[in-house]
Amino acid sequence: YVDDGIAALMKILENKNDVCKNQIINIGNPDNECSVQELAGILKKLFQEHPDHQNDSIYSEIIEVPADTYYGKGYQDIYTRKPSIEKARNLLGWEPKIDLLESMRLTLNSFLEENKAVTL
Cα separation of 46 and 43, whole Å? 5
Model pTM above 0.85: no
Distance (Å) of CA 117 to CA 106, 112, 113, 114, 120:
17, 9, 6, 5, 5
pLDDT digit string (tens) for 19-32? Answer: 999 999 999 999 99
User: Exposed (0-12), middle (13-18) or buried (19+): which is 32, by Cβ within 10 Å?
Assistant: buried
- Give 52-109 pLDDT, tens digit per residue: 888 887 777 899 988 888 889 888 888 788 889 999 999 999 999 999 999 999 999 9
